[in-house]
Amino acid sequence: MSNRKINMKEKYRLLTRDLDWEYSYRDYKEVFPQQEFEGIKITDWSKWEDPFRLTMDAYWKYQAEKEKKLYAILDAFSQNNSQLNVTDARYVNAIKLFLTGISPGEHQAAMGFGQVGRQLGGVGARVACQMQAIDELRHVQTQIHAMSHYNKFFDGFQDFSHMHDRVWYLSVSKSFFDDARTAGPFEYMVAIGFSFEYVLTNLLFVPFMSGAAYNGDMATVTFGFSAQSDEARHMTLGLEIIKFLLEQHPDNLPIVQRWINKWFWRGTRMLSLVAMMMDYMLPNKVMSWQEAWEVYFEEAGGSLFKDLARYGIEMPDYAQTAIAEKEHISHQVWSMFYNYGHATAFHTWMPTEKEMDWLSEKYPNTFDKYYRPRFEKWREMEAAGERFYNPTLPMLCQTCQIPMGFTDMEDPTSIFYRQSEYDGERYNFCSDGCKDIFDHEPEKYVQAWLPVHQIYQGNCGGPSMEDVLGNYYKINLGVDNMDFHGSPDEERWNIWHNLQPAEDKLKQAS
């Protein structure tokens, strides 16, 4: 029997698309009940272009090879106690933020892609989403495994899962993913598949992964690198969904544009936590947040939206606001966390003199003018034994759930503030972007589990800070929280490296 040659594209079609059939015992709409309620019009699923052509046998093979290498490095990392090789123990706080704030998001992404991987009516799209679902499960699990060794030597990693459901700043990322997952399948795809994975992903992963590389953290570098080829697939899927929706029906354009506006803003707000990590938590700096923003959003995103212009898609609303904020955002967010450093499961600190100089150089228009004086004052207070902690509870933005602390870009000394009324109640917002999102779907955003409201309502373990932070959040008080200086993390680090405690150094210096 002589075999006909069969090309890759045709073979992939036979091995995926051709598996599907037209139902006759049940109605298509019964099998895919979620496909229409968002108003998206799909006329022909067969027009879906497969973003990648990977059959399961190849998937198992490649991924198993990657896992083998990854776990070999993680094993060596713990055997050699390579956590000792990071620049200094302050760095580890960056990956505490990652494990508590980002890794649970990978888990949410796995569930969300699983959901659309069942609910989308086209088999090509479903299969691509399913592969992303299992990849995202990979990400959360490899991240837990990479952090597992750090957890044995540093405080603040130990209860990441419990904390993600409760702690005030973690509800920023939790509500982001809850928002996407509770939307319909197409909005989910635009939110996570496109806006997050395509437009903003580099602003999340480059800071963390390069930050790890610059700071001697081989465990994080390794899972980051290992996830890169997965991410490349996710990006092609994100782009395909946009093109597909826009080519299917002209009525889809305004819906998709609105989703892009919303998810760009929601993503940008969440990334402000990454901005502070990048500028303040890395002892060895990679680049400034502003530089990263310019490369990965203004340049890369700019050309992407130029590309999408032929479909009628425009740059997201409030991109200009986000661009104006790039010189401020990291300083403002670090200030908030420094203020509430008694209520965080990681340590905060004031930059050293050298670090302040770096910030002045990178942010010539803003740092010396608006932020350095405040930081120097806080540093003086610390030296005088009166490290500043803000004892009040902040007001949170109803949409992004970040404390209301962003300033007006027209006047960077005053806090930006918006309100909406719905059903007789007032709601507060940090920005026009967050207010617009609320105003479009108030019935959704009034449901938000706002951590500060919940504390006031007595739903978080009791009235005192010890009840909330210690019992409800399960932060080990005096251990996981407060300033880095004087923390058990710092003390152990110094013993391991035969270093003088910072306090002694301070004494000697003065």
Partner 1 sequence: MSIEIKTATLEPIRHTFEHTKRRFGDKPASRYQEASYDIAPEQNFHYRPFWQPDKELFDKSRTAVVMEDWNVHKDPRQYYYGTYVQARAKLQEITESNYAFFEKRGSAGRMSEAVRAKIIRCLVPLRHAELGANMNNMFAFSNGTATVVNQGFLYNAMDRLGIAQYLSRIGLLLDGNSTESLTLAKEYWMTDPAWQGLRRYIENVLCVKDWFEVFIAQDVVLDTLLYDLIYRQFDDAITEQGGSDLAMLIEFMQEWHKDSSRWVDATLKTTVEESDHNRTTIKRWVDDWREKAVADLAPLADIAVGDTAMAASLDVLNQRLAKVGL
Residue 400 binding partner per list Fe ion, Zn ion, partner 1, none, with a CB distance cut-off of 5 to 8 Å that depends on partner kind: Zn ion
| 43 secondary structure, DSSP code | S
**The pair of three-digit structure tokens given for residue 131, joined into one six-digit string:** 């592969």
Query: Is the separation of the CB atoms in 102 and 170 below 8 Å?
Result: no
Query: Is the separation of the CB atoms in 434 and 449 below 8 Å?
Result: no
Query: Is the separation of the CB atoms in 199 and 187 below 8 Å?
Result: no
Q: Per CB under 5 A, does 379 bind Fe ion?
A: no
Q: Per CB under 8 A, does 8 bind partner 1?
A: no
**The pair of three-digit structure tokens given for residue 436, joined into one six-digit string:** 């617009």
Inter-CA distances, 503 with 355, 385, 489, Å:
19, 11, 14
Q: Per CB under 8 A, does 126 bind partner 1?
A: yes
First to last CA, the chain: 90
Residue 328 binding partner per list Zn ion, Fe ion, partner 1, none, with a CB distance cut-off of 5 to 8 Å that depends on partner kind: none
Do the strands 418-422 and 425-429 form a parallel or antiparallel pair, or are they unpaired?
antiparallel
- Which residue has tokens 């819906």? 255
Q: Per CB under 5 A, does 139 bind Fe ion?
A: yes
Residue of 195, 59, 185, 183 whose CA lies nearest to 122: 185
Query: Which residue number, 224 or 412, has a Cβ lying nearer to partner 1?
Result: 224
Residue 198 CB contacts under 8 Å (≥ 6 apart), including other chains = 235, 238, 239, 304
Among 70, 128, 336, 397, binds Zn ion (CB under 5 A): 397
Inter-CA distances, 48 with 60, 234, 247, Å:
24, 16, 10
Binding window for partner 1 (CB under 8 A); candidates: 115-123, 232-240, 305-313, 335-343: 115-123
Instruction: In whole angstroms, give the CA distance from residue 61 to residue 67.
Output: 10
Residues in 240-279 at the binding interface with partner 1, rule: CB under 8 A: none
Query: Is the separation of the CB atoms in 103 and 79 below 8 Å?
Result: no
Query: Which residue number, 175 or 330, has a Cβ lying nearer to partner 1?
Result: 175
What is the helix (H) or strand (E) element at residue 493, kind and residue range? helix 488-496
Residue 52 binding partner per list Zn ion, Fe ion, partner 1, none, with a CB distance cut-off of 5 to 8 Å that depends on partner kind: none
Among 42, 109, 183, 245, binds partner 1 (CB under 8 A): 183
Q: Per CB under 5 A, does 234 bind Fe ion?
A: yes
Q: Per CB under 8 A, does 222 bind partner 1?
A: no
Q: Per CB under 8 A, does 118 bind partner 1?
A: yes
Instruction: In whole angstroms, give the CA distance from residue 50 to residue 59.
Output: 15
| x/- track of binding to Zn ion for residues 198-237 (CB under 5 A) | ----------------------------------------
Among 114, 216, 442, 461, binds partner 1 (CB under 8 A): 114
Query: Is the separation of the CB atoms in 278 and 330 below 8 Å?
Result: yes
Instruction: In whole angstroms, give the CA distance from residue 88 to residue 175.
Output: 32
Among 47, 61, 306, 369, binds partner 1 (CB under 8 A): 61
What is the distance of C-alpha 178 from the center of its chain? Answer: 13
Distance in Å, CB of 234 to Fe ion, minimum: 4
Residue 82 binding partner per list Zn ion, partner 1, Fe ion, none, with a CB distance cut-off of 5 to 8 Å that depends on partner kind: none
Among 452, 474, 485, 486, binds partner 1 (CB under 8 A): 474
Residue 2 binding partner per list Fe ion, Zn ion, partner 1, none, with a CB distance cut-off of 5 to 8 Å that depends on partner kind: partner 1
Distance in Å, CB of 286 to Zn ion, minimum: 27
Residue 305 binding partner per list Zn ion, Fe ion, partner 1, none, with a CB distance cut-off of 5 to 8 Å that depends on partner kind: none
Binding window for Zn ion (CB under 5 A); candidates: 199-207, 377-385, 430-438, 491-499: 430-438
Q: Per CB under 8 A, does 175 bind partner 1?
A: yes
Residues in 10-39 at the binding interface with partner 1, rule: CB under 8 A: 11, 14-16, 18-26, 30-31, 33-34, 37
Distance in Å, CB of 106 to Fe ion, minimum: 5
Binding window for partner 1 (CB under 8 A); candidates: 170-178, 299-307, 320-328, 419-427: 170-178
Instruction: In whole angstroms, give the CA distance from residue 303 to residue 282.
Output: 30
- Which residue has tokens 């969440």? 270
Distance in Å, CB of 275 to Fe ion, minimum: 20
